[in-house]
Structure 1
Amino acid sequence: MTYEGVLTKMQTEIGNPINYYLVFENSFLNLNQLLDKELEISFQGYQCLNCGKKKKIFRQGFCYDCFMSSPAVGDWIMKPELSTAHLDIEDRDLVYEKRVQLQPHVLYLALSSEVKIGVTRGTQVPTRWIDQGASQAIPIVEVPNRYLAGIAEVALKNQYVDKTNWQKMLKNEILQVDLIQERIKAGNYLPQEVKEYFSDQHPNIIELHYPVLTYPKKVTSLSLDKILNFKGKLAGVKGQYLLFQDGTVFNIRTFEGYVVKIQI
């Protein structure tokens, strides 16, 4: 069977294991059903996720012009502490920024290799943790806007990393850590503006299980900019990566906006 379309981040459904779907305009693939099957991925072109034009992708699925102008990729996305909508100050589009920034955000700890600090919208729990390939996660605090979550994250960056070690995550090299104890410790470092939202009553640790038959011992990234056609047997899906039996891994997020043909 042949599927063709624009790559966007895989959609997920919580379960044991998590269900993964690669969704195109007129079709979709349930990747869990393709484990131990051979896939062929072929590069066909580009299509910007914002303007829809067949222009070369610059970053995050956007062409250069859209990346430089769209509010969906403002600096505050990657650095929540730069959020200004709560001050009624526009970055690129105040209406959009208010809609996204002025809603509940969660500061959390996630265990994908070592313990990682992060921020996500409340509506993105547990999707954000799945996308990062976390095996466990726990909320530290929920605050009413993105700015407060951002300054809390900055305060905790001296204690925890803020980026996933993707190679260790994909090899399933995970530290054994008590996240409840880490949450207690993290509460001591919260800035004063955020402390009022912290509760001593601990939320449950979220356990996440991925559809993986075998984890690679070494990983090699597949780049559609260098290899236009790849064929391999699917060994698993974790985070936003496809894992193949030969150790090749393919990060769907990196190649959003790329048009591909997938043959099974």
Structure 2
Amino acid sequence: MSEVRITNVSKVYPGHDARDEPVLALDNVSFEVRNHEFCSILGHSGCGKTTLLNMLAGFETPTRGEVAVDGRKVGKPTWERTIIFQDYALFPWMTVEQNIAFGLEMKKVPVSERPEIIRRQFELVGLSGFAKRYPHQLSGGMKQRVSIARALAVDPNVLLMDEPFAALDAQNRASMQEELGRLLATSDAQNRKTMVLVTHSIEEAIILSDRIIVLTRRPGRVKANIEVDLPRPRNEADPRFIELKMHLRDLIHDEFEVEH
């Protein structure tokens, strides 16, 4: 069974008032993400990428079609699906440790189990020694590590990411891509999460993904569904990496040409 299944999904937003035409954001989108796969959704701004992610999170519902995870229709947010946002969404009055513990408290994980879970997350994202720091004392890359640790601490089945590295400078972004790529390469296959990433970056999609879904300009439709068969960690100098990058660039550029 596929972990994530998007079936004939369309989304229509009403106009702001009676004079405005409704907006068709997504049109008959279908694809699957297998258990433990990392899938990137790639496309221009406004093509419906974040709308799809919000549907998977349970924040929005399709106008038509169905979004299902592990065979069950998605209806509302649950601990089975967590999301990492672009702006970190950390509580500034809480320490790093408290931010990571927050989800465990809301999920009512037994108090006796929390320290070990938090310790494992610190090791996983390389934040040992920063437990008592506050978000304002951290770099952007470190804040995003905290966001990742907090999302993983509640042990979701599916991890959703809405351009999590877009707010970082180029050096930190590359570092975080490399770090997440390392985690994917070294994770036990049975313990890997199913992951869905929204991104504008072709390179980021190739570095991280097992599958890349390319959407057309609005209304978003599936233009390409590509399996990435490259060894991890990915090497940007690999001729196959370059070939795939150029292919994806052509797909995206074609959409630009259509628009103009």
TM-score class, shorter = under 0.3
Whose relative contact order is higher, 1 or 2, with alpha carbons under 8 Å and at least 6 apart?
1
What TM-score results when the alignment is normalised by the length of structure 1? 0.27
What TM-score results when the alignment is normalised by the length of structure 2? 0.27
Give 1 or 2: higher strand fraction: 1
Give 1 or 2: higher helix fraction: 2
